[in-house]
Amino acid sequence: MRPAILLSLAAFAMVMGGAGIAPSPGFAQVKPEEHKLKAGDRDAELLKNVNAAITRGVDYLKRIQQGDGSWASNFDEHLHGCWRNGMTALCLLALLRCGVSPSNEQIDLGFKYLRAKWDNWKAGGSVLHQATSWKQYEVSVTLMAIEARWSPPLAFLREKIQGTPLAGGGGRAGQVKVPPKDLEWVKQLTAYLHDHYTVASSSMVTRKVGKSTVTQPSETKGAWSYPRSQKANESDRSNTQYAVLGLQAADRCGVPTDAEMWRGVLRNFLDFQQKKGEKRVPRIVAFEDKQNPGYIMYKTVGGVNDEARGWAYYTGRDPDPKGDEWGRAIGSMTAVGVAVVALCMDQVARAGKMDGSDQRDGLKAVADGLAWLDVNWAVDKVPFQEPDHPAKYLYYYLYAVERAAVLTNSRLIGAHDWYREGAEHCLKSQSGDGSWTADHEGQQASTCFALLFLTKATIPLQINVHVTGGH
């Protein structure tokens, strides 16, 4: 990270009121004695129960692995083809983040399965819709799993009950040393994502250029979609977030990615966030309570308000409050938007490509997205999901919230201890066999997402996007 970027980010945080944990000189006027709460990830009793739940979840995933090393998917019979490769990668990622050894026999068998399917596909042994075909999600999560296999061990919750608990993700950023054979695989997977970087939209957007306001076509690129023969090139935030996460994993493995591509994704997310917020909410600043370890103090910052603005599923459309679940702002896609903007800012800044507009707009988008999550806060349902299926893709949503909070260094979302509330829900909703299940998600995927939330599996950024949601 270049010092100039760090300085300007710090200045923004001071002007805007700031957040996260560490107090700065810009907050000297704030006396946070009015409110305090016991932090969930510093609560020994809660963490003890969380660790027991993680153990049961890991045991469940190990039990259901197939003899060939794969994990079956609830979507194996879906119209668009088998998703077993992606489910296998997701299970490997979850197990590795939960502390299962990279050399574990089941982990090794799972990677051998994936590598064989990939090599067969590269050799022309499959076509779209067949069980051995590869798609955006599968490629992206495989990159994440490979990076997790060879990255330094995370500071797992189970090892931190009496020590210093996780504060913002369980690992550390930086280069990952990957064996040559797997590094070549990472390069091939990365090339796939570069090749499938798609046209986002031909919609017109209005933005300020200097002192003028102009209407012009949106970025021609900036997103990913399902294969074109399936969805006619309608790109979406879900495919895009996993492509971004996969490319971030590739970057940590030492495989270069395109800075202009990252900037294109950033501009797309900025262009298609809600233009008008639902309401304005005061900023909250949080501090560690040095007199009472394990507690957090927080207070509203006077005169600093964020505008609750969310994101919808489709990337080339402005969110419509009256739209369906694909066209209106919803909880899962808003959490996705916050995380992707933070990731893109990190990549663009480290490449030295960040300009003042990207930086200013990105930080505001993050603050406003977190404010939207606060205004519409829930952990037992997905805000603005289908009325008949409010818990549809629930654990996918919780894992997205975890990423949004960790990547923006947000200790709280508004006044919500997002980790405690999410963990308590996961503890209540775990099944007797160790699994979790949400509408339309299936046991395998739900269990992986719940485990990734509970372990705080996201690795913090090198950039410090130092903002939080409203009150």
Residue 190 lies in a domain: yes
Considering 298-302, 307-311, 323-327, the range whose residues carry the highest mean pLDDT is 307-311
pLDDT band with cut points at 50, 70 and 90 for residue 88: very high
Determine the residue type at 461. Answer: L
**Residue 399 covered by a domain:** yes
Residue matched to tokens 């994101």: 311
Paired strand residues for 37: 296
| Cβ atoms 79, 205 nearer than 8 A | no
pLDDT exceeds cutoff 70 at 329 = yes
Are the C-beta atoms of residues 299 and 31 closer than 8 Å to each other? yes
**Treating both helix axes as pointing N-terminal to C-terminal, what angle do 237-252 and 331-350 enclose, rounded to 10 degrees?**
40
Range of the domain at 359: 3-454
Is the pLDDT at 172 greater than 70? The verdict is no
Assigned token pair, 420: 């405690």
Question: In total, how many domains does the chain have?
Answer: 1
Is 464 a domain residue? no
On whether residue 138 sits in a domain, the answer given is: yes
Beta-sheet pairing, 295-307 with 221-223: unpaired
pLDDT of residue 312: 92
16, 282 contact by CB (below 8 A) = no
Say if residue 81's pLDDT is above 60: no
pLDDT surpasses 70 at 248: yes
Residue 365, domain CATH: 1.50.10.20
Residue 132, Cβ density class (10 Å: 0-12 exposed, 13-18 middle, ≥19 buried): middle
Phi-psi region of 62 (alpha: psi -120 to 50; beta: other; left: phi over 0): alpha
Flag whether 312 is in a domain: yes
Inside any domain, residue 276? yes
As a whole number of angstroms, the distance between CA 50 and CA 402 comes to 15
Mean pLDDT along residues 406-420? 92
pLDDT number for residue 112: 98
359-374 pLDDT, tens per residue?
899 999 999 999 999 9
By the 8 A CB rule, do 453 and 399 touch? yes
What's the mean per-residue pLDDT of the chain?
A: 80
- Return the residue matching tokens 């590739």: 250
- pLDDT of residue 163 exceeding 50, the answer is no
In a domain, 470, yes or no: no
Query: 142 in a domain, yes or no?
Result: yes
